[in-house]
Chains A and B, each alone.
Chain A
Amino acid sequence: MSGCSDEVDAQRLAQSLISEPFGPQVAVTFVNPDEDPAASSELVVEVARRAGVTDRVAFQMQESAARLGLDVCIATGSAHRILGATHLDDSAVSELVERILCNPVVEIWDRSRVNPGFVPTSSDGTQSRVETVALRGLNDVQLSQLNRQRGLALDHSELLVVQQWFATEGRDPTDAEIETIAQTWSEHCSHKTFTARITTTRGDVVAPLLRQLRDCTRAINAPFVVSAFDGNAGIVRFGDSHALAIKAETHNHPSAVEPFGGANTGVGGVVRDVLAAPAIPVALTDVLCFGPADTRPDQLPRGVLHPEMIREGVVAGVADYGNKIGVPTVAGAVLYDEGYIANPLVFCGCVGRVLRGYDAIGEPRVGDQIVVIGGATGRDGIKGATFSSMTVDASTGSVAGASVQIGDPIVERLVGEVLVDLLDREVPLCTSLTDCGAGGLSSAVGEMAEKLGATIDLALVERKYPGLAPWEIWLSEAQERMVLGVDPRDVPEVLHRCLTRGVKATVIGEFTGTRRLIVQHGSEIVVDMPTDFLFDGRPQREMIADLEPHPTLATTSRRVADHAQMVCQLLAHPNIASKEAVIRRYDHEILGATVIGPMSAPWQTGPSDGVVIVRPEDVNGFALGIGVNARYGLYDCRSMAWSAVDEAMRNVVSVGADPSAVALLDNFSWGDPSRPSTLGDLVHAVDGCCAAALAFSAPFVSGKDSLNNEYESDSGVRQSIPPTLVITALAHVPEVDQCMSSTLSTIGSAIVMTGLTSDELRGSHLDLLLGSDHGGLVPQPDTTAPLRYRALYELIQEGKIRSTHDCSEGGLAVALAEYCLTSPLGLNVDIRAVAATDVVALYAESNGRILLEVDPNLVNEVCERLGLAVLLGTVSEDPDLHCRTHDTQFCVSRPQMATAWSGEV
C-alpha cells in the first residue's frame, strides 16, 4: 500500500481486509524503497505484477478500503513471496526465478523484497503529444527500416501505397495514422492472405481463399444459415429454436510469451465476439497444441518457455476466465508435437444464444453517439494485431512484453449482463455494436465508421492511469471493452443502465456521414483520413503457391509384434490419453445445460465423442464436435482438411445430432504463407474444406486464420508449426432425449462398425509410435459417409441404437479400448472382416467409421440400412477387451487399458 504511513491505519487495513481465522495472518512492515534489505542466508524471492497489469487483489483492497472509510492509501499492489534454503549462486537463482517462478512479461521480481509496480496516479508532467513520422522521400531501404522499427508488419507494396497517398496529401502521417493503417491492414484484421490474388508456380490463377469458402457456403444454401462470414460471429437458426452465434479465435502468439494471460484473454476475446453478435455465451471450446511435455530444457530454442510451463499457464488461463465468467467449457482437444515447441496454439471457441434485438442491430446511423463500455484503457496489448502477424524470435518475449494482458472476467461478465439488458428486447437501446479486440478502438471504431465516418475525442476515453500518448489510447488493446453506436436520445438511459451495474460507459464521439475518420485529443488532430483509403486503399496482395503434391513414399511394412502392448502404448500417447486432468479444471456443468459432457456418463471413466447442450427448460438443443489432425497435413493437406471435417461430423453424428443441420467453423494456424509450398498447403486445405462441406451439405459460417506461426533461431533457421486446421461443428439436436452417449449399456449387445477401413496409415498414430514414416496414404475422403450418417441418424431417432463411439486417432484398436473404458463392461470382437491385414484393421485411421452398440435382434436391419457395416462381436460382462485377428488373438485387461489411458505409464 503506497501512501499509508500511519501504523494504526495500516494495521486496521490489514486486519479488516486480509487477516482471517484458518487463513492468512498479517504482518505490517514499513519499507523505504531506497534502502536495500539486509542480506539473508535463506532464498527469499518476491514476485509482483508489473504496473498496469490487472491485479484484482490490489484493486479490491483499494475498493474495500474506501468502503470501510479507510482510504488512507493512494495505491495498492500485491506480490507473493517464495522462501527456500539454497546454496545457489546469484545467476542460478535468476535463472530459476525467471524460468519457473516469474514471467517477466507481466511480472517483476527481486531478492528479499520487490517494490510493487504502483501505477502512476498523476502524470509525470511530460505532455503527451502527437508526433509526425517522416515518410515522404524515404527510399526503399529506409522504408523497410521504418517498417521494422515501428513493428508495422506491412508489405513493401503496401508501404509504397501509403507513402504515395501521403505524398498526394502533401503531408507526412502522424504516428497514430501510420499505426492505424498498420493495424487495419494487418493480416490479423484484413486477412491479406485469404483475400490475396494467388498464382500457382505453373502460372494458373487460384480464386481468393475466403471467396472459395463463401462461395461454398452460398452453393450449399442451407436454410438454417442466418449470417455467414459477416460481423463478429456466424449466426444459425435450427428449426424454430433460438438462433445461435458461433465463433472461434486463436491466441497463439500471446500464449507463447505469457501463457496464462494469453489464453485468458483469448477466451475473453472470443466471448466478446459472441457478445457483439449480439448473443449471450452458453458454451466454450478450447483446442490446445503444445510441444511434448518431456522436451529437454536444453533442447529449447532461446527465449522459448518450456512446454510444460506453457501448458500449465494456458490451462489455468482458460479455466480462470471460463469458470469466472460463468460459461461452461465443454469441448476441446489437446495435441502434442515437436512443431509446437516454439509456437504453441490456443484455439478458443464460443457459442451464444442470440438476443432478441439481433434483427434491429446493424450499421450505425448518422448522429449516433459512440459509447465505449467496460474496462478502462491502459498501455495494454499495444500493437497486438501486428504482433500476431509477425514471426516469433528470441527477443519477442521481451519486446512484445506490453502485448499481453491478464484478463478480468468479472468485468466482462458485467458487460455481458448490461448488453443483455440493452439488447434482449425488440427495440434495443443501441443501433450497432462491436467488440474491442486487436487494434483496440482504432479497429473497432474504424470498422463501425467505415461507411459513415466519425469524429472521436480521445481525451474523453476513461484511462487506467495518466501519461498515455494519444496513439496509445487509440491503439490500446485493453480488455473487456465494447463499442456501441447509440441514438442520442437513448444515451442517458444507456449510461444509467451501465452505471447501475457498475460498468464504466463514456461517450467519445459520433458517426458523422462525412466518410472521414477524424480523431482528436482535445483540440489536437491525431488522425484525419478518409475511410475509403483506410478500408479500400490496401493493394491486393499477390502471392505464389506451389501446388505440386508432396512426394509420395511407397509403403514399407509396418510390424507390430504384440497388439496388446501396442494398444496400451497408443492409449498412453499424450494425444489419445485421457484429458481428465484438464477437463476437471473447467466448469462444464454451469447453466445446467450439459446433457452429454466431455467424459462418458455416468462412470466418467472414458471419453465422450461430441457434447450436447440444451437449456434446462427446452428439448431443442445443439451438439458440438471438433476435428483436428495436423499429422496428415505433413503429407496431404487436402485429405487432412476433409478428415478434420469428417471427424467433426462424426463427433456430432455419434451423439445423435441431425447431419443435415450442421454448421462449420474453420480455424487455420499455419506457417509463413510467403513460402510458396506453405501457401500451396493452405490452398489444398481450403480445397479439401470446401469439397467436404459440399459433400456433407455443412456450410462454413465463420472462420479465422493465424499465419506466420514460425520461429526463427539465432542462426536464421526457421521452424514452422505443422499445418493445423481445427474444424468445429455446431449441429442441431431436435429432440435431446434421443441423443446418444458413448457408454456401453447392455451385456450381450452386438457391436457393429459402419464405414470402410482402408490401407491409410500415413500420418497415423501407429507410425508416430513406430518412430518413422512408413509411407502410403493418409486417410482419404469417404464420399459415402454423408449417406451413412443420415441413415444412422434415423436409426438413432427410432431408438434402434444403444450407444455409439466414433473411431478416430489410433484407429479401431483405440476405439474398442476406449469403448470398454466407458463402462464396467468389456468387448469380445473378431476384426477379420474389417480389412485384409491386422495392422490395417486395427490401426488405420480411415474416415467415416463409427462403432455402434445394437440389440442383437436388430443387427441385420441396422447393417442393411447403413449399407456399409460389419458385425464385430458382443458386449461382455468380462471387462477386458478380447480380440480375434487374422494372425492371432489377444486380450488387453481392464487394468492395463485403464492405466495406460490415464497416462500413468
Chain B
Amino acid sequence: MKPTVAILVAPGTNRHHDLAFAFSQADCDHVFIQVTDLPEESKNLSSAQIIAVAGGFSYADALGSGRVFSDELNHRIGGILHERVAAGVPVIGICNGFQMLVRSGLLTGDPESLTTQQQIALAHNDHGNFVCRWVTLAPVSRLSIWTAGLSGNITCPVAHGEGRVVASDKTLTYLHDNDMVALRYVNHDGKPAAGQGPMNPNGSIDDIAGLCDSSGLVLGLMPHPENHVTQRQSRSGSPTGIHGLALNLFKSGVQHVKQS
C-alpha cells in the first residue's frame, strides 16, 4: 500500500506543491495540512506515515524565519512532531521547513540540552542576499534514513536568504561525533566547498546543508531536492545532469516506512 505524507503548510508556505510532486514520484500519496486548520485536522497528521514541512515564507518570516510557524504549531497541538518522531515517523523539513524544525527543537544537536536551549540557528546568508542557484550535495550521514541509502552526490537548487547554519564548536563536534551532519555543499567535482561561495551558497559552517536528529528520522535541509526529481528538471542547471537526481532522497524515506 502507498504510504501518505502529511505536508504541513502555513500562510506563506509556497513550495508544498513541489514537495507533493516529489513524493508522488517516489510512490507516496500526500495530504496538505494547513496549520490554521489545526487542531481540527490533527487526525490526518497523526495517521500519516511521513511528515514533511514545506518551504516558503511562513508568516512572512516576520519575527525570524520559521519562528511564528513553530510557535503556532506548538500553540495549537503542542509537541506533536516530537511525539510522531518518538513513534518512528520520519520527518523532513526543507528550507523554511528546516528553519521551522530547528525552532521547534527537533534538530537541536545534543538531545541532553533539548529542553534547555536551541544550539543551532539558520542565520542570514553571509553575502546578505537571497540566492537562487544549483548546488551539489554530498550525502554524509549513515544515521539518517533519508541519506544513508544515497550512493552518490545529488544536485538541486537553493533559494533562500537565511540558510547559513550557525553552531558553537561544541555543538559542531557533537554533530560530527554522532553522524548528524546529513548533507554537505561540495564543488561540482565532489571536493569540499570549504566555505567558499558560490558552491557553499550561504557561508554555512563546515559546508553543512542538512542535519539529522539523533534518531536518524528527522532531516532538515536548506536546498530543494523536490525541484530535481525528473530528468527534465536536470536541464535547468544540474551540474551533473541526471546523475544528480535527488529523487532517491524521497525514495529512501518512503522505502523506510514501507519496510517498517
The answer to whether A and B interact is yes
Q: Whose C-beta in chain A lies nearest to the C-beta of B72? A: A67
Which residues, 219 to 255 on B, are CB-close (under 8 Å) to A? 224, 226-230, 232-233, 235-241
Residues of chain B within 8 A (CB-CB) of A410 are: 11-12, 57, 59-60
* Contact A21-B57, Cβ < 8 Å, known A502-B36, A597-B237: no
Scoring A residues 570 to 600 as 1 if CB is less than 8 Å from chain B, else 0, what string do you get?
A: 0000000000000111111111101111010
B36: A residues at CB distance < 8 A: 500-502
CB-contact partner of B21 in A21, A587, A617, A736, under 8 A: A617
Which of A's residues lie within 8 Å of B, judged by CB?
A: 17-18, 20-23, 56-57, 59-61, 64, 67-68, 319, 323-326, 408-410, 413-414, 500-502, 583-592, 594-597, 599, 601-604, 614, 616-617, 736-737, 741
Which of the segments B117-125, B145-153, B173-181, B209-217 contacts the partner chain? B117-125
Residues B37 and A500 in contact, CB atoms below 8 Å apart: yes
Inter-subunit contact B117/A21 (CB<8 Å): yes
**Complexed CA–CA distance, A584 and B135 (Å):** 13
A64-B71, A599-B237, A737-B232 known; A22+B132 contact, CB < 8 A = no
Inter-chain contact B131/A589, CB cutoff 8 Å: no
Kindly report which residue of chain B lies nearest to residue A615, judged by CB atoms.
B21
Using known A-B contacts A325-B14, A326-B15, A584-B133, determine if residue A67 contacts B75 with beta carbons closer than 8 Å.
Answer: yes
Residues 1-49 of B contacting A (Cβ, < 8 Å): 11-12, 14-15, 17-18, 21, 34, 36-37
Supposing A64-B71, A585-B129 touch, asked if A602 and B60 sit within 8 A by C-beta, the answer is no
Instruction: Pick the 9 closest A-B CB pairs, nearest first.
Output: A326-B14, A22-B121, A60-B62, A589-B157, A587-B159, A410-B12, A592-B227, A601-B237, A56-B62
A326 to B15, CA, bound (A): 7
Interface of B is mostly: mixed
Q: Is B166 an interface residue (CB 8 A)?
A: yes
Which residues on B sit within 8 Å (CB–CB) of A59? 62
A591 to B227, CA, bound (A): 7
Q: How far is the CA of A775 from the CA of B227 in the complex (A)?
A: 50
Q: CA–CA, A67 to B21, complex, Å? A: 33
Inter-subunit contact A22/B166 (CB<8 Å): yes
The reply to whether A601 and B11 form a contact with Cβ atoms under 8 Å apart is no
CB < 8 Å neighbour of A590 from B123, B166, B227: B227
CB of B63 within 8 A of chain A?
Answer: yes
Q: Is there contact, CB below 8 Å, between B63 and A22?
A: no
Which residue of chain B has its CB nearest to the CB of A586?
B132
Report chain A residues within 8 Å CB of B18: 590-592
Q: In the complex, which residues of chain A have a beta carbon less than 8 angstroms from the beta carbon of B239? A: 602-603
Contacts A/B (CB < 8 Å), 5 sampled: A61-B63, A324-B12, A595-B235, A601-B236, A602-B238
Looking at the assembled complex, report how far the CB atom of B162 sits from the nearest CB atom of chain A, in whole angstroms.
Answer: 10
Whether B132 contacts A591 by the Cβ 8 Å rule is no
Q: Is B132 a contact of A584 with CB atoms below 8 Å?
A: yes
Output the least CB separation between A348 and chain B (Å): 18
Other than the given A324-B56, A601-B236, A616-B233, 5 more pairs (CB < 8 A) read A21-B121, A584-B129, A602-B241, A603-B239, A604-B134
Give bound CA distance, A601 to B157, whole Å: 12
Partner of B236, one of A64, A325, A501, A589: A589
Contacts of A319 in B (CB 8 A): 130
**A594 vs B134: C-alpha distance in the bound complex, in angstroms?**
12
Given the interface pairs A60-B63, A589-B157, the reply to whether A602 lies near B237 with Cβ below 8 Å is yes
Chain A residues with CB below 8 A from B119, complex form: 21
CB distance from B14 to the nearest CB of A (A): 3
B186 to chain A, nearest CB (A): 15
In the complex the two chains form, what is the Cα distance from A434 to B192 in whole Å? 52
**A414 partner, pick from B11, B63, B71, beta carbons under 8 A:** B11
A contact residues around B195 at 8 Å (CB): none
What residues on A are CB-neighbors of B194 within 8 Å? none
B237 adjacent to A604 (CB under 8 Å): yes
**A744 CB, min distance to chain B CBs, angstroms:** 15
Name the one of A20, A408, A589, A602 contacting B118, with C-beta atoms under 8 angstroms. Answer: A20
User: What's the minimum C-beta distance from A608 to chain B, rounded to whole angstroms?
Assistant: 10
Please tell me the size bucket of the interface on B.
Answer: 35 or more
Q: A324, B60: Cβ atoms under 8 Å?
A: yes
In whole angstroms, what is the CA distance A596 to B233 when docked?
9
Q: Which of B60, B121, B133 contacts A604 (CB 8 A)?
A: B133
CB neighbours of B238 from chain A (8 A): 601-602
Establish whether residues B68 and A60, one from each chain, have CB atoms under 8 Å apart when the complex forms. yes
Residues of A with C-beta under 8 A to B132:
583-589
Task: State in angstroms the CA–CA spacing of A741 and B157 once bound together.
Answer: 18
Q: Which of B63, B75, B159, B240 contacts A323 (CB 8 A)?
A: B159
Shortest A760–chain B CB gap in Å is: 35
Chain B residues contacting A595 (CB-CB under 8 Å) are: 232-233, 235-236
Distance in angstroms between the alpha carbons of A603 and B236 in the assembled complex: 10
Chain B window 107-144, contacts with chain A (Cβ cutoff 8 Å), 1 for yes, 0 for no: 00000000001110101000001111110000000000
Minimum CB–CB distance from B144 to chain A (whole Å) comes to 23
Bound complex: CA of A599 vs CA of B236, how far in Å? 9
Task: List residues of chain A with CB within 8 A of the CB of B57.
Answer: 323-324, 409-410
Contacts of B166 in A (CB 8 A): 22
| Bound complex: CA A64 to CA B59 (Å) | 10
CA distance A20 to B34 in the complex (A): 26
Contact of B131 among A21, A585, A597 (CB under 8 A): A585
- The answer, among B56, B62, B232, for a CB contact under 8 Å with A616, is B232
CB distance from B55 to the nearest CB of A (A): 8
A585 vs B100: C-alpha distance when bound (angstroms):
22
With contacts A56-B60, A584-B132, A617-B21 taken as known, whether A601 is within 8 angstroms of B159 at the C-beta atoms is no
User: In whole Å, how far is B41's beta carbon from the nearest beta carbon of chain A?
Assistant: 11
CA gap between A9 and B68 in the complex, in Å: 19
Whether B159 contacts A590 by the Cβ 8 Å rule is: yes
Q: CA of A589 to CA of B94 in the docked complex: distance in angstroms?
A: 15
Q: Chain B contacts of A592 at CB under 8 A?
A: 18, 21, 226-230, 233
A500 to B34, CA, bound (A): 10
* Contacting pair A64 B68 (CB below 8 A): yes
Per the bound structure, the CA–CA distance linking A602 and B155 in Å amounts to 11
Q: What is the chain B residue whose CB lies nearest that of A320?
A: B130
Q: Which residues of A have CB within 8 Å of B88? A: none
**In the complex, what residues of A have CB within 8 A of residue B230's CB?**
592, 616
Closest Cβ of chain B to A67, distance in Å, is 6
Is A584's CB under 8 angstroms from B131's CB?
A: yes
The answer to whether B72 and A616 touch across the interface, beta carbons within 8 angstroms, is no
In the complex, whether B184 has a CB less than 8 A from a CB of chain A is no
B227 engages A589 (CB within 8 Å): yes
Cβ of B67 and Cβ of A20 under 8 Å apart?
yes
Min C-beta distance of B234 to chain A, whole Å: 8
**A323 contacts B130, C-beta separation under 8 Å:** yes
The complex places the Cα of A62 from the Cα of B130 at a distance, in Å, of 27
B235: which A residues are within 8 A, CB to CB?
595-596, 601, 741
- Which partner residue on chain B sits nearest A597 by CB separation? B236
**Which of chain B's residues have a CB closer than 8 A to the CB of A590?**
14-15, 18, 159, 227
> Would you give the shortest CB distance from B256 to chain A, in whole angstroms?
24
A57 touches B56 (CB 8 A): no
Residues in B whose Cβ lies below 8 Å from that of A409: 57, 60
User: How many Å lie between the Cα of A616 and that of B57 in the bound state?
Assistant: 23
| Shortest distance between the CB of B194 and any CB in chain A (Å) | 20
Query: Which residues of chain B have C-beta atoms less than 8 A from A414's C-beta?
Result: 11
- Which of chain B's residues 155-201 have a Cβ closer than 8 Å to chain A? 157, 159, 166
**Shortest Cβ distance from B232 into A: residue:** A595
Decide: B232 and A614 in contact? CB cutoff 8 A.
yes
